[in-house]
A and B are shown apart, each in its own frame.
Chain A
């Protein structure tokens, strides 16, 4: 599993950073950045899904390409 953030949609609500700091960081403007290449360790897959389910802007997606 891999997480993606659409930077056009992200408005910096920071739900992802609060729920899954292992996967998301924030820049100095408070916008979300995926940590590393976004590959999600199996133990963190639930957290990735939680981040998707709590982003008010629908900016986060997960894909199976990893």
Chain B
């Protein structure tokens, strides 16, 4: 291989934090030998140490490789990440989640349009969904999102038996917000929240299990969605599911597979991602009392602070498949190999951002790529920003002072979506909270 990676330039191993779900079948891969030549983004030690791994790789091997997953590449600079995101000729979105699966849907529609679609079909599948997620259609959800956050906070507060109580900001709070919002938008039963969480886990975290097991999990997901679709066909209502069932492309209704795929995308794309962004922002504030105090004193900094959290703790790494053999920064990419597109690594590349490795809540210039770049820009970004802003502000308004109880008790997700999955914080006594 002509790439810059070589086993002689081995990175030392990083601290493993076992974040894997104990109920999961084991990964079919062993521990990572060298991040440059044997990386595994679904190894439990990757997400907790991601910033150090990217910084190391950027120095000695800007495009890392692994033989795992039938071959995958990991670029770590902003330049390469944006180059890939804009290049729909050498890369296909046919699959955006690196896994052990070898049976993948076909271009240009893919299994979950529009995220899995390539041009020209992508344009049509996306255009359909743009209006319901445009700013002016999302803004009216703000009161509902705030009410949801407040009711979760009421419950948390009621459970705090003494003033130094500990709450898990990830599982008791952040997680519930996107699940409830998307269930309502799709018109799915909110009491199925645990089921959705299971699906998200299967699709996004269970990537290195036996391929047969992975297929079986997708079958269960399809079955669940089919039941919801049947119900919506029988009882159409004012929600995104009925909207998609009635939608047309070129005057023809969407195929059943298209509707199901888009619904799966909408259900899954917004949950772990937004949960992670809320959780990471709260994690930052719990560990940086100076920033927390500054936000209390200078509330006009909220917009830049949220964008800075999105930049620095960007939760979403996407993937592409190589569509034709070519070289990327001197590395020989072969058709059907995976390429990870780590927007979070691009966001902390010192070549693209001043003081890239510092969180500056008053950063003025911030062209971060947390929501992607180019034609696949996150369709849900207006909703996601609303949820993150309201969720973090409401938490801080209710609990003006909180701190990490034990940094080692924090657990990070596994796989392409990065964020805290367990986040114990201690709520500190304070004068009665102001409401935002």
The answer to whether A and B interact is yes
Minimum C-beta distance from A1 to chain B (A): 18
Nearest-neighbor residue (CB-CB) of B381 within chain A: A13
- Given A26-B135, A56-B373; A12-B368 close (CB under 8 Å): no
Minimum C-beta distance from A6 to chain B (A): 14
Residues of B within 8 A of A50 (CB): 364
Pairwise interchain contact B134-A30, C-beta atoms closer than 8 A: yes
Residues of A within 8 A of B371 (CB): 13, 56
Pairwise interchain contact B382-A29, C-beta atoms closer than 8 A: no
Among A18, A29, A53, A57, contact of B134 (Cβ-Cβ < 8 Å): A29
- Given A12-B130, A30-B130, A30-B134; A53-B373 close (CB under 8 Å): no
Q: Which of A8-45 contact B (CB under 8 A)?
A: 11-15, 17-19, 26-30
Among A11, A19, A54, A58, contact of B377 (Cβ-Cβ < 8 Å): A11
Q: Which of B96-152 contact A (CB under 8 A)?
A: 127, 130-131, 133-136
Minimum C-beta distance from A62 to chain B (A): 14
B369 at the interface (CB under 8 A from A): yes
Minimum C-beta distance from B134 to chain A (A): 4
- Given A18-B303, A30-B382; A53-B365 close (CB under 8 Å): yes
Minimum C-beta distance from B145 to chain A (A): 16
Residues of A within 8 A of B307 (CB): 15, 54
How long is the Cα–Cα vector from A26 to B364 in the complex, in angstroms?
22
Minimum C-beta distance from B285 to chain A (A): 21
Pairwise interchain contact B134-A13, C-beta atoms closer than 8 A: no
Residues of A within 8 A of B134 (CB): 12, 26-30
How long is the Cα–Cα vector from A28 to B130 in the complex, in angstroms?
8
1/0 contact trace for B355-388 toward A, CB 8 Å?
0000000001111110101110100011001000
Residues of B within 8 A of A28 (CB): 130-131, 134, 136
Pairwise interchain contact A30-B133, C-beta atoms closer than 8 A: yes
Minimum C-beta distance from A47 to chain B (A): 11
How long is the Cα–Cα vector from A19 to B307 in the complex, in angstroms?
12
How long is the Cα–Cα vector from A55 to B133 in the complex, in angstroms?
19
Would you call the interface of chain B mostly helix, strand, loop, or mixed? helix
Residues of A within 8 A of B375 (CB): 11
Minimum C-beta distance from A8 to chain B (A): 11
How long is the Cα–Cα vector from A26 to B385 in the complex, in angstroms?
16
Pairwise interchain contact B131-A13, C-beta atoms closer than 8 A: no
Residues of A within 8 A of B365 (CB): 53-54
Nearest-neighbor residue (CB-CB) of B377 within chain A: A11
How long is the Cα–Cα vector from A13 to B96 in the complex, in angstroms?
20
- Given A14-B382, A57-B373; A29-B367 close (CB under 8 Å): no
Residues of A within 8 A of B131 (CB): 28-30
Among A15, A29, A53, A54, contact of B130 (Cβ-Cβ < 8 Å): A29
Minimum C-beta distance from A40 to chain B (A): 17
Residues of A within 8 A of B303 (CB): 18-19
How long is the Cα–Cα vector from A54 to B133 in the complex, in angstroms?
21
Pairwise interchain contact B367-A58, C-beta atoms closer than 8 A: yes
Minimum C-beta distance from A46 to chain B (A): 10
Minimum C-beta distance from B105 to chain A (A): 24
Nearest-neighbor residue (CB-CB) of B131 within chain A: A28
Among A27, A53, A56, contact of B369 (Cβ-Cβ < 8 Å): A56
Pairwise interchain contact B381-A14, C-beta atoms closer than 8 A: yes
Nearest-neighbor residue (CB-CB) of A11 within chain B: B377
Residues of A within 8 A of B127 (CB): 29
How long is the Cα–Cα vector from A54 to B369 in the complex, in angstroms?
10
Pairwise interchain contact A14-B367, C-beta atoms closer than 8 A: no
17 residue pairs bridging A and B, Cβ less than 8 Å apart: A11-B374, A12-B130, A12-B381, A17-B135, A18-B385, A26-B135, A26-B136, A28-B130, A28-B134, A28-B136, A29-B127, A29-B134, A30-B130, A30-B131, A30-B133, A54-B307, A56-B367
18 additional contacts (CB under 8 A) given A11-B374, A14-B381, A54-B307: A11-B373, A12-B130, A12-B377, A13-B371, A13-B377, A13-B381, A14-B135, A14-B382, A15-B307, A18-B385, A27-B134, A28-B130, A28-B136, A29-B127, A29-B134, A30-B131, A50-B364, A54-B366
